Amino acid sequence: RLVVVLALLLSPLALYWIYSSGMPAAAAWSVQFVPDSVKEELGKQTHSILEEWAFEPSELGERDQASVVAIWEGARENLALEHQHYELRFLKASEMGANAFALPDGTVIVTDELVYLLRGNPDAMLAILLHEMGHVEHDHGLRLIAQSIGSALVLGAVFGDLEGLTEMFLGSGAALVQSAFSRDMEREADTYAIEHLETLDKSPRAFAEALTALMESHGAGVSNVASKTLSYFQSHPAIEERINDALRAAE
């Protein structure tokens, strides 16, 4: 009976530790062994899904594209980047609006709407590009995939054929854990952007300006972070906190 009671008490604690600490550490360690060919294939598949899901071919003019490419190339030339295979792409996202994404293979997607939004503030655009580079440099996409696979394997091993219970965990607890991982990774990418803005002799205030513009473009003021129009930000650290961190770094 004592063994049964201890098992009932310790099993949830063990699972919690696996999800909160063990899985992220294992994922961060394992991605170093992923070959470039796998990263490229993941990037292609993700890009195809994004195009089918909510994106259209870019309608940016040559001047707008050239201005962002110049910022992008300037950052790449002046920073010591560990990831060697970077590529910048533009897509239109009428429903999603201003945004940017980093794929596992080093592809960074910038929406037309983001280019229009930050057209008059090249340092803010640089800050967003650096943020996405931070995701690539830290292998965040691969780490999330590794964590998801690890979660499925652990739950399958623990619950065996109890498919309903496993699906419940995968659909609720795992989703919450992945959200927490995402918040940690966003902070890591924020730090990367702020530090490398300073490396390029730019003020971290540019990152605060970029975040403020993004937030306002999604239909809310600084005090209304919980707005449904800001679902993208709800899975990330509080937007006000991120803006304040950038402003403190600028000071």
Mean pLDDT of the chain: 77
Per-residue confidence (pLDDT) for residue 15, from 0 to 100: 67
Amino acid (1-letter code) at residue 49: I
77-100 per-position pLDDT tens digit: 999 888 878 999 999 988 888 999
| pTM across the whole model | 0.73
Q: Which residue has the higher pLDDT, 232 or 144?
A: 144
Task: Note the pLDDT tens digit of each residue in 29-74.
Answer: 666 666 666 667 766 667 667 666 778 899 999 999 999 999 999 9
pLDDT in tens, 11-32: 777 766 665 666 566 655 666 6
pLDDT in tens, 151-200: 555 555 555 554 554 444 444 444 444 444 478 888 999 999 999 999 99
Write down the pLDDT at residue 157.
58
Place 104 in a pLDDT band, splitting at 50, 70 and 90: confident
Which pLDDT score is estimated for 232? 41
Q: How far apart are the C-alpha atoms of 216 and 242, rounded to whole Å?
A: 15
160 vs 165: CA distance, rounded Å:
10
For residue 31, the model assigns a pLDDT of 61
Higher pLDDT, 144 or 186: 186
Separation of alpha carbons 113 and 118, rounded Å? 9
pLDDT at 183: 81
**Per-residue pLDDT, 33:** 64
Is 155 buried (19+), middle (13-18) or exposed (0-12) by CB count in 10 A? buried
pLDDT computed for residue 165 by the predictor: 46
pLDDT at residue 5 in the model: 77
Give the pLDDT of residue 195: 96
The letter for the amino acid at 35 is: P
